[in-house]
Amino acid sequence: MASLSATSLSFKAPSIQSTRISQSISFGRFQSSKSLRLQISCAAKPETVQKVSDIVKEQLALSADTALTAESKFSALGADSLDTVEIVMALEEKFNISVEEADAQNITTIQEAADLIEDLVQKKPAA
C-alpha cells in the first residue's frame, strides 16, 4: 500500500525500504540544500552503520559513550569541512572504495554514508 502526499512517499508494508527527505543546515561551510530530493533505498546493514559510527567518533574525537544514531548529522557533531573529508578518506580506506566529489558532498549523516558505502561496494567488479 502506498500513499502519495506532496512531500513524501511512504510504504506501509513492513519492508526494509526506507524513505528519506533530507536537508542540512550548516553555519560554517555551507552545504547544498537538497530540498525535496526523494530517496527510496534499502537501508544499510547495521554493521555498516556501526563501522561508520566508529570512524566518525574517532575522527571527531567523540567520547566512547556518545550516542550516535544513523540519523546523526556530521555538522551537528561539530564536523567541519576538513573533518568530513577525513571521514570520507577513512571510509574509502576501510571499505576499499572510491567516493566521487559530488557524492562526498551529499553525505551529511551516518546513514547516508553507510548507504553510499554499500552502494559502492556492491558496484565493485568482482575481484
Partner 1 sequence: MRISVMSQMQRSFSIDLPSLIPLQLPSRRHVPHPTFWLIGFEAYLLSQTEKDGVDQMRGDELKKNALLARTLVRTTVARYQTNKEVDPRSLMFKKNVYGKPEVDWQNCKNCNHQPLHFNISHTDSLIACGVTVHVPVGIDVEDKERKIKHDVLAFAKRFYSADEVNFLATIPDPEAQRKEFIKLWTLKEAYVKALGKGFSAAPFNTFTIQSIPGTEEGYSLCKTSEVTADPLEETKKCNGEWKFAPLELADSHYAAVCIEDDQANEGAPMRVIVRKTIPFVEDQLISERIFL
Considering only 18, 20, 43, 73, the residue that binds partner 1 (CB under 8 A) is 73
Q: How many residues bind partner 1 (CB under 8 A)?
A: 27
Q: Would residue 103 show up in a list of annotated catalytic residues for this protein?
A: no
Catalytic residue among 54, 80, 83, 119: 80
Give min distance, CB of 11 to partner 1, in A: 28
- Residue recorded with cell 556530521: 74
Got the DSSP string for the chain?
-EEE-SS-EEE-S--SEEEEE-----SSS-----TT-EEEEEPPPHHHHHHHHHHHHHHTT--TT----TT-BTGGGT--HHHHHHHHHHHHHHHT----HHHHHH--BHHHHHHHHHHHHHHSPP-
For the window 26-55, what string marks contact with partner 1 as x by the rule CB under 8 A? -xxxxxxx----------------------
Binder among 78, 96, 121, 124 for partner 1 (CB under 8 A): 78
Indicate which residues carry an active-site annotation. Answer: 80
Which chain residues interact with partner 1 by CB under 8 A? 25, 27-33, 58-59, 66, 72-73, 76-78, 80-82, 85-86, 89-90, 101-102, 104-105
